[in-house]
Structure 1
Amino acid sequence: MQVNVIPFRHEDTATWTYLVHASGDAAAAVIDPVLDYDAASGEASTGSAARVLAAAEAAGLRIDWILETHAHADHLSAAAWLRERTGARVAIGAGIVQVQHTFKDRLHLDDQDFVADGRQFDHLLNDGEELQVGALTVLAVATPGHTADSMSYVVGDAVFVGDTLFSPASGSARCDFPGGDAHALYRSVHRLYELPVTRMFLCHDYPAAGTAPRAEVPVSEQRAQNIHLRDGVSEAEFVAMRTTRDAGLAVPRLLWPSLQVNIRAGHLPEAESNGGRYLRLPVRLREASADGAQSGG
């Protein structure tokens, strides 16, 4: 059975969204939909998600499932908006509960603000679980390392890997978020390499100037050429590289807005008494000493 994959690029966050269906079948899944968000104005909009919905409608497709590869830290999910318009169910890896607990604590949310038990999603997926999207079978493969809830999806000869890997020239995902683990990522990627698939679809690509971003990479090319995780790189070598590299990375631009929406399955925070919706931003003061050194406070 032929698996058709239609990619959509969100340029502002370098994110790929996918519309997936079998030839001749009306049932479809959307993987990692993006809500447009301008941090300066606080305005969220649905243009990118509407493109995906319009493409599905033009092709006569019915969106039955919305699949998140993890609670993204670099873009806001449009899952709730798509769910409201299609009746599709939203699924994510069961590890989301751990992520919810972590960021509920970091953002000091109480039980009235947010309950960290996964109830915001329609279905929590366990490793090895299967979903039916019409004639297609989707296999959930837990691939922790970047985050605790990272899940890849195998559909026919294709696997959708979220943030585990980028294109061969860009390497692998960072592992310094809460719940991240470079050892786990190394093992997850090698698990992906052993799957009976030939096509790997990425959630992000960060190409060099003048180079086109890639949505799809042959698994054989990743194994031979990925600059971080090609065949022959040992776990110890990878962990040392990843740890050093992560120590120099900046905090993602949309970390706090993204996580507050994404642990809610794409829902914005509830409106407050004045009708407004608000996102939290943790703040800490660093005091500079006379010699220029800084201390946290």
Structure 2
Amino acid sequence: MIPHTVDLSIRPDIKAFFDEKTNTVSYVVKDPASKACAVVDSVMDFDHAGGRISYESADKIIEYIKREDLTLQWLIETHVHADHLSAAPYIQQKLGGKIGIGENIKRVQDVFGKVFNEGSEFQRDGSQFDRLFKDGDTYQIGGMTAFAMSTPGHTPACMVHVVGDAALVGDTLFMPDGGTARADFPGGDARILYRSIKRVLELPPEMRLFMCHDYGPGGRPIRWETTVAEERASNIHVRDELTEDDFVKMREERDKTLSLPKLIIPSIQVNMKGGNLPAPDEQGKRHLKIPINEL
């Protein structure tokens, strides 16, 4: 069941920013009737081999918002990403806005707080974020009312954010020829993911869907926008004629063949803390942990 009535007459302006290194798409979602906007799934650049961070990707978003004279109200994380680091705190420092994520971040923090041996000083209550969304919660982007839909399965904290005729789906879905995201991370579940996806596909057929990732299957150009109708007709994993059992069998078999994302260790450590880097030690240096045989 969809938690709120959808108003397709509202068409937010959506600007995409594609990060080639992580195949991530970040978005600026603007109210067409005002200068208010939100940023969804920003990227902090991370050189894994050198352990160096930079902000070229985030700076492009910041420059765009400043150039368009926009007011940033929200920095939305659709979930705790395992393939890129969030730049939300950096953008917030530059432009303001509130950082929001699904309330089940607390479950993710509990699981990975143990994996990374974070200790009692690590708060597992989601307090690193400004807002924890429950299923059906609403918030404003200027005059637009957005609402959050809980869509667990890839991770427990996954949410789809719906505003007007657009839905930002995170990793819940990929483009029709890309299928769906994996469901084998701690707290993931293929059957739950299928049911979450079907809930999203109950949205109106003309609803625009915006992906968090695209990998250009078959060498096609990168794409990140589709519709509910297109997904229901042709998504290779969840089109209408495929059953829940079909999906679960496919997803579980496929997930066994997948390698872990290259940036999973730094990404989860940073992202479960709202995008904040580890606190510096007595010498002012920051360190990430590498758990052995834990993932």
TM-score interval (norm. to shorter): over 0.9
Could you say which residue in structure 2 is the equivalent of 1:201? 210
Structure 1 counterpart SS, 2:245: helix
The whole-number CA distance in structure 2 between the counterparts of 1:208 and 1:129 is 35
Q: Runs (4+) of structure 1 moved beyond 3 Å?
A: none
Which entry has the higher C-alpha Rg, 1 or 2? Answer: 1
Equivalent position of 1:136 in the other structure: 144
After superposition, the CA RMSD in angstroms is 1.1
Q: Which residue of 2 aligns with 1:269?
A: 278
Whole-angstrom distance in 2 between the partners of 1:159 and 1:2:
11
Please say if 1:17 is aligned against 2:37: no
Whole-Å separation in 2 of the counterparts to 1:156 and 1:47: 30
Unaligned runs of 5+ in 1: 285-295
What is the SS of the residue equivalent to 1:5?
Answer: strand
Matches within 5 A, 1:210-249: 210-249=219-258
Q: Aligned pairs, how many?
A: 284
Aligned to 2:12: 3
CA distance, structure 2, for counterparts of residue 131 and residue 272 of structure 1: 38
Name the aligned partner's letter for residue 118 of structure 1.
G
Q: Is the 8 A contact 2:79 2:170 kept in 1?
A: yes
Q: TM-score, normalised by structure 1?
A: 0.94
CA distance in 1, matches of 2:139, 2:61: 21
**Counterpart of 1:142 in structure 2: which amino acid?**
S
Rounded to whole Å, the distance in 2 between the matches of 1:22 and 1:134 is: 6
Q: CA offsets, 1:59-92, max 9 Å, x none? A: 1111110000000000000011011111210000
Give identity over the alignment, percent: 45
8 A contact 2:184–2:255 mirrored in 1: yes
Give the TM-score taking structure 2 as reference length: 0.94
C-alpha separation in 2, matches of 1:69 and 1:208: 23
By how many angstroms is 1:24 displaced? Answer: 3.3
* Conservation of the 8 A alpha-carbon contact between 1:10 and 1:48: yes
Alignment of 1:11-160 (within 5 A): 11-112=20-121, 114-160=122-168
- The corresponding residue for 2:5 is none
**CA distance, structure 2, for counterparts of residue 66 and residue 266 of structure 1:** 11
Distance 1:51 1:279 in 2: 26
Q: In the aligned structure 1, how far is the partner of 2:171 from the partner of 2:91?
A: 22
Question: Which ranges in structure 2 are unaligned for 5 or more consecutive residues?
Answer: 1-9
